[in-house]
Amino acid sequence: MVIKKFQKKWLFIVCIILVFFWALQSSNEKDEVGIYDACIKLLGNKAIGACMPLFSYAGEAEHPEGATEMLSVKVLGELPIYGYFMDMAEETRLIDQMDRQKAEVKEVQSSNDLSSSDVQDNTGWEELVQAMEAENQPLVTIQPDESLISEIVDASAFVPREKTNSYDWEALSEYKNLISTFYTIDAGTMIGSDQLNTDKLMEKDITIDKNTDLPQILIYHTHSLEAFADSELGNPDQTIVGVGERLAQILREQYGYNVLHHKGEYDTVRDEAYAQSLPALQKILEENPSIEVVIDLHRDAGVDGVHRAIDLDGRPTATFMLFNGLSRTKKTGDITYLKNPNLNDNLAFSFQMQVKAGEYYPGLTRKIYLKAYRYNMHLMPRTLLIELGDSNNTVEEAMNTCDPLAHILDLVLTGEE
């Protein structure tokens, strides 16, 4: 208790001394205010400053920032969250400043059309640009030279191959050799040499005359939602639909076919996709009687640890698989309610595609897969169901497959060797 009283006494004495010296200093000013008046003024200011800081601040001599800044400094400044937002504003200001510097550097980089006189009149300009680039190195993206880009595109451009392989047709005349070389037969179906023999499959004329006036080829997708390993979610251009558009573009621009690409969606309920797509497919064919080729383009399901792709002349390229439905099961035989009057033509078309693929692009295709049901292949003799790539392939690999696939299709449809 005695100690507290002693501390208070000394604190009081120190305050009196400070007030006295301050008053002496004030008395020497131009207004020559007395000691008494100075003390009263000092005590009044200190009391107002302690109890009402806003009024104390308002009474100060110079506030060029105005009332808004005064409010933010003396009132909002007491709140911690205000300090946080002020820090954020300062960070945003710095980022904006760096963005402006980045834009300036890019503008300088894009000024590649300066004449010699321009360069001479801007002595030291290159040094300035280099200094700015060094200062903003994390922010600057160097734009590649356009000629270099062209060279890269040209280097990776697809070049159709010449025929490099041939088959031993004498050996393939045996049913067993034919099956082991070209087919995978699902356990639920069956087929014999009466339908699968080289003479019958190769003698079918699959060729068509090119006519750009009317649609000749229809590309559609029973399973339009099928995407690839790196497809952007919700972007149809990176699904099998986008791959179908790429295939259609190549067939139009490079091979001169009139192609109709139907992008209808039928696999919201996947098990109903074939039933849902059939009426639309029938309507398209009725409205476009000039169509001679139908392609149902799919993407296959992937297998864990298996990457089905090849390096085709430096281009990563997904493999593809041709598919046929036989409308036949081992248990019941032919499925009468799924009759396919065009089955033999379908089989010949896929076989001739497989042969050309093996002769020009060995390793690009998997074996033709035969399964029990019909898969809407009964509407047109020249119908293909193609599984292009699988869920483990990238969009790039799938897109690259369109080039050799279009070439193979053209070889078959024109009958060229």
Question: pLDDT digits over 94-112, tens only?
Answer: 444 444 444 443 443 443 3
Per-residue pLDDT at 48 exceeds 70:
no
DSSP assignment of 163-192, as one string? P-----HHHHTSHHHHHHHHEEE-TT----
The torsion angle over the Cα atoms of residues 33, 36, 42 and 43, rounded to 10 degrees, is: -160
For residues 186 and 263, the answer to whether their CB atoms sit within 8 Å is no
Residue among 397, 411, 57, 35 nearest 246 (CA): 397
Which segments of 198-256 does DSSP mark as H helices, in order? Answer: 198-203, 240-253
Separation between Cα atoms, residue 132 and residue 139, nearest integer Å: 11
pLDDT band at 292 (very low <50, low <70, confident <90, very high): very high
- CB atoms < 10 A from the CB of 343, how many? 22
* Domain range annotation of the chain: 10-77, 167-414
pLDDT band at 113 (very low <50, low <70, confident <90, very high): very low
Mean predicted confidence (pLDDT) in 383-410: 98
Q: Distance between CA atoms of 218 and 380, rounded to whole angstroms?
A: 11
Query: In the chain, what percentage of residues exceed pLDDT 90?
Result: 61
What is the pLDDT at residue 59? 46
- The mean pLDDT of 338-349, rounded to a whole number, is 98
At residue 164, the pLDDT reads 95
pLDDT given at position 244:
99
- Helices 395-414 and 343-360: crossing angle in degrees, nearest 10, is 110
Going by C-beta distance under 8 Å and a sequence separation of 6 or more, which residues neighbour residue 276? Answer: 266, 267, 269
pLDDT at 32 over 80: no
Maximum pairwise Cα distance, the chain: 128
DSSP at 229:
T
pLDDT at 25: 55
Supply 89's token pair: 């504003």
Is the per-residue pLDDT at 177 higher than 80? yes
As a CATH number, domain 167-414 is 3.40.630.40
Mean pLDDT of 154-161: 78
The pLDDT assigned to 211 comes to: 84
The band of 417, judged by pLDDT with boundaries at 50, 70 and 90, is: confident
Interval 298-326 mean pLDDT: 98
Q: Quickly list H helices, 122-232.
A: 125-135, 146-156, 169-172, 175-182, 198-203
> What DSSP line would sit under 14-33, residue for residue?
HHHHHHHHHHHHHHTSTT--
Question: How far apart, in Å, are the Cα atoms of 164 and each of 73, 125, 358, 412, 414?
Answer: 82, 58, 9, 16, 19
Of the candidate ranges 37-46, 77-86, 157-166, 229-238, the one whose mean pLDDT is the lowest: 77-86
Q: What is the model's pLDDT at position 407?
A: 99
Asked whether the predicted pLDDT for residue 54 surpasses 50, the reply is no
Which two structure tokens, joined as six digits, stand for 395? Answer: 């969009």
Q: What is the average pLDDT across 35-53?
A: 51
**What's the predicted TM-score (pTM) here?**
0.65
What is the pLDDT at residue 61? 42
Q: Is the pLDDT of residue 297 over 80?
A: yes
Taking all residues of the chain, what is their mean pLDDT, rounded to a whole number? 78
C-alpha 55: how far from chain center: 60
| pLDDT tops 70 at residue 302 | yes
Distance CA 76, CA 70 (A): 9
Q: What is the pLDDT of residue 212?
A: 85
Q: Which residue has the higher pLDDT, 63 or 194?
A: 194
Classify the C-alpha dihedral 373-376-380-384 as positive or negative: negative
